[in-house]
Amino acid sequence: MLSRISNQCYNSYLKEIAILVGIYKRLITPMARRTFASTDLLYNDMPKEIVSELLGHSRMKITQDSHGKAV
């Protein structure tokens, strides 16, 4: 199991990665989660139930409300 890190630490890592790859936009944890769910999972035919579980949503409705266009 992976260890948990704080959102603040995660945001710091995102900022470092963005600088390295030339992205000059403020990246934050919710944006990364949304991109991961929408782009990497749902558009690659990952079942929405698994996406919901990976994101830690307690109900499918949360996933549908957050990612409705892709679900």
| Sign of the CA dihedral running 5, 13, 35, 44 | negative
Number of domains the chain is built from: 1
| 36: amino acid identity, one letter | F
Mean pLDDT of the chain: 82
Note the pTM of the prediction, 2 decimals: 0.55
How many Cα atoms sit within 13 Å of 65 on the Cβ side? 6
Does 71 map to a domain?
no
d(CA 31, CA 33): 5
Does 45 map to a domain?
yes
Average the pLDDT over 43-56 and give the result: 82
Does 40 map to a domain?
yes
Q: Is the pLDDT of residue 1 over 90?
A: no
Structure tokens at 63: 């996933």
- Domain range for 18 is 7-66
d(CA 25, CA 47): 30
Does 51 map to a domain?
yes
d(CA 41, CA 6): 23
Question: pLDDT-derived band of residue 68, with 50, 70 and 90 as boundaries?
Answer: low
